[in-house]
Amino acid sequence: MKTLILVIIITFLLLPICAFGGVSAIDTPNDDGESITIIWNPDSIPSNNLKLTRVKIERRTSSESGWEEIGVAPFSQRTFIDDAADDGIDYVYRLLFTGENGKALIYRTEAVHSSAQIFNTKRINVLIGIIICIFVLLYYIYRSQKGRQFYVRPIPGLQAVEEAVGRATELGKPVLYSAGRGNMQRVATIASMTVLSSVAEKTAEYNIPLIFPNNDAVVTAVAQEVVYDAYAKTGHPDRYKEDDIFYLTDSQFGYAAAVDGIMLRRKPATNLFMGTFEAESLILAETGNSIGAIQIAGTDSTIQLSFFIVACDYVLIGEEYFAASGYLSQDPMILGSLKGQDMLKVVVGVLILLGALAVTFGFTGFLDIFSIG
Amino acid sequence: MDAVGGKRINIRHIIFILMALAVALPLIFKLGLPLRVTDEVRDVYGFIDSLPENSTVLISFDHDTSTLPEMVPLAEAILRHCFRNNIKVIGLALLAEGAAVGDDNLRRIAGEYHKEYGRDYLFLGFRPQFTVAILSMGEDIAREFPRDYRGVDIHNYPIMNNIKNYKDISAVISIADGDMPLYWINYAQARYGVKVIPEVTAVMATTMYPFLQSGQLVGLVAGLKGAAEYEKLLGKPGLASKGMDAQSTAHILIVLLIIVGNVVYFINRRKMRI
Amino acid sequence: MLRKLPLYICFVFGTFMLAQFFIPHPVSTALYKMVLDWVQIIYALSLLVGAAMLIKHHTLIASKPVAKDRQYSLIVLFGIFIMIITGLFFGRGNKTVFLWIFNNIQAPMQATMFSLLSFFVASAAYRGFRARNAQSVFLLGAAIIVMLGKVPIGDMITPYIPQSADWLLNVPSMAARRGIYIGIALGTIATSLRVILGIERTYLGGK
């Protein structure tokens, strides 16, 4: 009984300098382990006019007796991350709050250990978004496979490809194709290969040269395959010239200079710019314009669209360019995914409308649904 | 067609000569036009100013040599600001040509402020495959760049003592002539939460505006004008301030050309109707 | 099977990279780092492929005595040779021949190409901005305001010009741009999914 009373007295005496209230330590959420977050709430810590300014953070394992200093933080910071913890080991933290006059308050946390998480819960909104996208796209691909016909509106830029290649044939001049600056990882370059395949089929049929100067070695190799396959498909593999699909340079303006030179020397009747373009877009398109070539451009680079619109005859804007793949191939699976894209656009439109209304009426919490951790 | 082509070439020649004069003359004869500092440049300046001493920023020289007249003033202004405020700078390049330029810029401006290589600044060099490089640095910078531009193990430098990944970096500044800042936004900002500051050519500025408005960027310094505004805030007029008169006259010439082009168009249209 | 293998690889790695975004566990991170390392290794090899392609292409042209434009290929081969020799044997650091060539030949040539933009912008503006109908009048007016508003002289004429320019860029232009961005983003998601699922195969070379 005496011992119990002694313990209670000592506990009460120590309370002002050693307490759990207002401070806590938790395993840092949504991380790959080895990290513990120490939290203090300045409002819950009775500062007794000490004017607390900084916090010294110390730790020890459950089995150790001595404290190890791991950092110092401003009092107003509220949190400190110990990213030198070992997973599975229990740590106790001691926080020494120091005031302007040098006096300190000491707080201690309960034992806590760090661990790695399997799932980042702050990204659940992204997961839901992806699941919705996948579901919608797969649903329309499935419907398309089952024979449902989807309408794709005529895209003037793609309709003009046939006419442009025909004009080159009439004039007996080559067609020049450029995929711009993108590498094979860019979706715009992948879309460009589909358009290239369709163009190559036409140049193979009409027996006119297709020149494809390139900015990326991998794209060159892929393009050679794509063009050869297209020539073989039309029954004219003998007309395929590997030398006309060649790698130039990785340099942006080195590429622009070389393509300009090719245009001025070989005078193509048709220029097709399909891919990712940067500042070189206007240099290419204006040179093409000066030699009187018919020019069609398609790009995902919004800033270059304005340059292409001024200097080219037809331009594929925004997702028109990505629709080219389905439009040219008429592949039901790709057409299905196009329809899915349209439905997703409706979903995005509704969310934008809801967001605008919510924020207008002060429900800013709606925005938090879309923040990513 | 030939006649039309011939006529067009003549007009083009005149336009080209006028443009050359519009750019060259103000560089010779200074006009000294006043400059207003825009909010997006002020935001960047304010952010760098708010960083505590010894913070570290990552500056990526994501450009070719072709755009040096625009890129160098941008780089110089931000480097001067960082070094003046004792902020540590880790440089790198995600385009090959940016490596030599970045190294030169860093060394030169650091020299002005008597900064020491390895302690106050470091240049990591070039890495191809920028998407992968950006993602990889989010996990571990030393894994992506085990050695610096000079071939030395980066762990040997004191600047790297407390730097592991983006968590230890105050901001990434991408000095770019293309859309590289978008990759920094998509992969470093969205995925790892690091603050991104784009310093881009004027032509790329509008690409950045949606991200600026959505709060994904600290601010924006674009083109020679952005650099001149930054120089004004720094109180140290440099290369950009000198070029602002030329940019003004070039813009005025283009406006005049549009007006003349329309007058010619209406005269021709009227003639055709008659 | 050989044709299907790249599709399987694409599916496995595409799915893994997607899943990895949600899994912070060290096992997932370690695998992710390994994938990133391999992408760079493969890319480095593709640089060799590029160099080999370039040399092969220009050697073929240069070796044909009657080939048109043969001189350009000879210059390319000469340039490659000089840069390899100077870079490999005389270093690439400060005050080297390599850096001198880079700073005094390559950089000015590239800057010249970039500066051509100002001439092309001027001629394109002269030719392209025509007040053909009501929409093009709006476009033309907006272009003039933004051009003047983005240089000091606009502010000198009246402060309303830069203010109007900022409004045009931040409101109507931004609205249109966001619409295009959303379209592109959805197009990217759909194409990526088609690639992962093996529906889109042109990137493999042929359909």
CATH of the domain at A190: 3.40.50
Q: What is the pLDDT of residue C43?
A: 83
The nearest CA of chain C is from the CA of B100 a distance in Å of 8
- Tokens matching residue C171: 């409101």
**In the predicted model, is pLDDT for residue A35 greater than 80?**
yes
A114 within some domain: no
**In the predicted model, is pLDDT for residue C97 greater than 70?**
yes
Q: Which of residues 32-51 of C touch B (CB under 8 A)?
A: 32-33, 36-37, 39-40, 43-44, 47
What Cα–Cα distance (Å) separates residue A222 from each residue in A180, A229, A351, C42, C199? Answer: 14, 11, 39, 15, 17
Distance CA C100, CA C107 (A): 10
Q: Contacts of residue B177 in chain A, CB cutoff 8 Å?
A: 252, 278-279
Q: What is the pLDDT of residue A15?
A: 41
Q: What is the pLDDT of residue A12?
A: 44
Q: Contacts of residue B248 in chain C, CB cutoff 8 Å?
A: 151-153
Nearest to A301 among B12, B179, B201 (CB): B179
Please report, for the domain that includes residue A46, its CATH number.
Answer: 2.60.40.10
- Tokens matching residue B93: 């390049």
Q: Does C120 touch chain B (CB under 8 A)?
A: no
- In 10 A of CB A75, how many CB atoms? 18
Nearest to A42 by CA among A81, A82, A79, A93: A79
**In the predicted model, is pLDDT for residue A8 greater than 80?**
no
* Mean local confidence (pLDDT), B182-188: 92
A115 within some domain: no
Amino acid at B270: R
Q: What is chain B's mean pLDDT, rounded? A: 89
Three-state DSSP class for residue A298: strand
Q: Which DSSP symbol is given to A10?
A: H
What Cα–Cα distance (Å) separates residue A213 from each residue in A249, A314, C149? Answer: 9, 21, 39
Contact B230, B45 (CB under 8 A): yes
Q: Are the Cβ atoms of B5 and A292 closer than 8 angstroms?
A: yes
**In the predicted model, is pLDDT for residue A204 greater than 90?**
yes
Provide, for chain B, the percentages of residues in helix, strand and coil under a 3-state DSSP scheme, each rounded to the nearest 5.
60, 15, 25
Q: Contacts of residue C190 in chain A, CB cutoff 8 Å?
A: 137, 322, 337-338, 340-341
Distance CA A302, CA C193 (A): 22
Distance CA A180, CA B182 (A): 18
Instruction: Place B9 in a pLDDT band, splitting at 50, 70 and 90.
Output: low
Judgement on whether residues A127 and A94 belong to the same structural domain of the protein: no
Number of domains in chain A: 3
For the stretch B138-150, pLDDT in tens is 989 998 999 999 8
Nearest to B186 by CA among A352, A253, A126: A126
Contact A134, C193 (CB under 8 A): yes
A2 within some domain: no
Q: Which DSSP symbol is given to B204?
A: G
Distance CA A112, CA C113 (A): 62
Judgement on whether residues A280 and A176 belong to the same structural domain of the protein: yes
Q: Are the Cβ atoms of A303 and B203 closer than 8 angstroms?
A: yes
Q: What is chain C's mean pLDDT, rounded? A: 87
Q: Which of residues 295-324 of A touch B (CB under 8 A)?
A: 301-303
**In the predicted model, is pLDDT for residue A246 greater than 90?**
yes
**In the predicted model, is pLDDT for residue B155 greater than 60?**
yes
Q: Which helix (H) or strand (E) holds B245?
A: helix B239-273
Torsion angles phi and psi, residue C13, rounded to 5: -75, -35
Q: Which DSSP symbol is given to B248?
A: H
Q: What is the pLDDT of residue A373?
A: 72
The nearest CA of chain C is from the CA of A59 a distance in Å of 24
Q: Residues, chain A, total?
A: 373
Q: Is A57 left (phi over 0), alpha (psi -120 to 50) or beta?
A: beta
Judgement on whether residues A259 and A176 belong to the same structural domain of the protein: yes
Q: What is chain A's mean pLDDT, rounded? A: 87
A10 within some domain: no
For the stretch C142-187, pLDDT in tens is 989 998 888 888 888 898 998 999 899 889 988 888 888 888 888 8
B96-109 as b/e: b if 16+ CB within 10 A: bbbbbbbbbbbeeb
Three-state DSSP class for residue C192: helix
* Mean local confidence (pLDDT), B74-90: 96
The nearest CA of chain B is from the CA of C40 a distance in Å of 6
- Tokens matching residue B146: 């085990």
Q: Mind giving me the DSSP string for A90-131?
A: -EEEEEEEEETTS-EEEEEPPPB---B-SS-GGGHHHHHHHH
The nearest CA of chain B is from the CA of C125 a distance in Å of 6
Q: Does A153 touch chain C (CB under 8 A)?
A: no
Distance CA A28, CA A20 (A): 19
**In the predicted model, is pLDDT for residue A46 greater than 80?**
no
Q: Which of residues 251-270 of A touch C (CB under 8 A)?
A: 251-254, 256-257, 261, 265
Judgement on whether residues A277 and A254 belong to the same structural domain of the protein: yes
- In 10 A of CB A360, how many CB atoms? 8
Q: Regarding predicted confidence, which is higher, C42 or A175?
A: A175
Nearest to B43 by CA among B224, B218, B196, B213: B218
Judgement on whether residues A261 and A359 belong to the same structural domain of the protein: no
Judgement on whether residues A309 and A185 belong to the same structural domain of the protein: yes
Distance CA A75, CA B214 (A): 31
Judgement on whether residues A60 and A168 belong to the same structural domain of the protein: no
Provide the percentage of residues in chain B whose pLDDT is more than 90: 53
A190 within some domain: yes
- In 10 A of CB A130, how many CB atoms? 16
Q: What is the pLDDT of residue A13?
A: 43
> In angstroms, how far is the first alpha carbon of chain C from the final one?
16
Q: Regarding predicted confidence, which is higher, B242 or A172?
A: A172
Nearest to B190 among A181, A250, A372 (CB): A372
Q: Are the Cβ atoms of C122 and B257 closer than 8 angstroms?
A: yes
What Cα–Cα distance (Å) separates residue B5 from each residue in A269, A283, B8? Answer: 15, 18, 5
Q: Does C57 touch chain A (CB under 8 A)?
A: yes
Distance CA C93, CA B130 (A): 23
A259 within some domain: yes
A324 within some domain: yes
A8 within some domain: no
Q: Does A317 touch chain C (CB under 8 A)?
A: yes
Q: Which DSSP symbol is given to A344?
A: H
Instruction: Place A124 in a pLDDT band, splitting at 50, 70 and 90.
Output: very high
Domain boundary (A108, A138, A173) is at A108
What Cα–Cα distance (Å) separates residue C171 from each residue in A31, A263, B53, C26, C165? Answer: 39, 39, 38, 44, 10
Nearest to A155 by CA among A335, A340, A315, A339: A315
Judgement on whether residues A324 and A340 belong to the same structural domain of the protein: no
Chain B residue with the nearest C-alpha to that of C146 = B251
Contact B132, B96 (CB under 8 A): no
**In the predicted model, is pLDDT for residue A187 greater than 90?**
no
Q: What is the pLDDT of residue A274?
A: 94
Q: Does B152 touch chain C (CB under 8 A)?
A: no
Residue A270 pairs in a beta bridge with: A175, A294
Q: What is the pLDDT of residue C206?
A: 56
Number of A to B CB contacts under 8 A, please give it: 34
The nearest CA of chain A is from the CA of B204 a distance in Å of 7
Q: Are the Cβ atoms of B67 and A279 closer than 8 angstroms?
A: yes
Q: What is the pLDDT of residue A344?
A: 93
Find the domain containing A132 and state its range: 122-147+336-368
Chain C residue with the nearest C-alpha to that of B252 = C148
Nearest to A302 among B64, B131, B207 (CB): B207
Contact A143, A336 (CB under 8 A): yes
Judgement on whether residues A95 and A179 belong to the same structural domain of the protein: no
Three-state DSSP class for residue B230: helix
Judgement on whether residues A56 and A160 belong to the same structural domain of the protein: no
The nearest CA of chain B is from the CA of C49 a distance in Å of 15
**In the predicted model, is pLDDT for residue A14 greater than 50?**
no
- In 10 A of CB A236, how many CB atoms? 16
**A161: exposed, middle or buried (C-beta count within 10 Å: 0-12, 13-18, 19+)?**
buried
User: Which residue do the tokens 């392609």 mark?
Assistant: C53
Torsion angles phi and psi, residue B273, rounded to 5: -65, -40
Q: What is the pLDDT of residue A2?
A: 53
What Cα–Cα distance (Å) separates residue B123 from each residue in A346, B84, B172, C176? Answer: 47, 18, 14, 40
What Cα–Cα distance (Å) separates residue C190 from each residue in A195, A279, A298, C137, C195? Answer: 17, 27, 18, 37, 9
Q: Which helix (H) or strand (E) holds B244?
A: helix B239-273
Q: Contacts of residue A301 in chain B, CB cutoff 8 Å?
A: 179, 207
Judgement on whether residues A59 and A143 belong to the same structural domain of the protein: no
Q: Does C104 touch chain B (CB under 8 A)?
A: no
For the stretch C118-145, pLDDT in tens is 888 888 888 778 888 888 888 889 989 9
Nearest to B221 by CA among B77, B108, B86: B77
* Mean local confidence (pLDDT), B251-260: 90
The nearest CA of chain A is from the CA of B235 a distance in Å of 31
Judgement on whether residues A319 and A234 belong to the same structural domain of the protein: yes
